[in-house]
Amino acid sequence: QVQLVESGGGLVQAGGSLRLSCTASGRTFSSYAMGWFRQAPGKEREFVAAINWIGTNTYYSASVKGRFTISRDNAKNTLNLQMNSLKPEDTAVYYCARRRTGYSDYYASDKYDYWGQGTQVTVSS
């Protein structure tokens, strides 16, 4: 069984930065692509960023590209999301997730099988 645990959320002013981390249990972390999603109150869960298994390819939503950076440390079973120039519209619960094998799509949430419990990010104006 895979467990994903996010940390690093909090309250920050607009223009500030936060770094989210996701620690995975098990020895297969390095074999899977990983992603970050977020869900704001009253809205559907949306894709934020993803990274392939070895960390050479990254993918971003248009709304965060240039401000957020996804990375991973396979030796530490850790996925990170560096968030800079935060905006009030970035306020949401952020989730890390493991992508299923056999798919090339990084953006659809149904291509991910394991999810963390989420961490709240609140950006004040």
- Span 10-41, pLDDT tens digits: 999 999 999 999 999 988 899 999 999 999 99
CA dist 86 and 112 (Å) reads 26
- Span 56-96, pLDDT tens digits: 999 999 999 999 999 999 999 999 999 999 999 999 999 99
Q: For residue 104, how many other CB atoms are within 10 A of its CB?
A: 7
CA dist 21 and 29 (Å) reads 14
Return the minimum-mean-pLDDT range out of 5-9, 10-14, 25-29, 110-114.
25-29
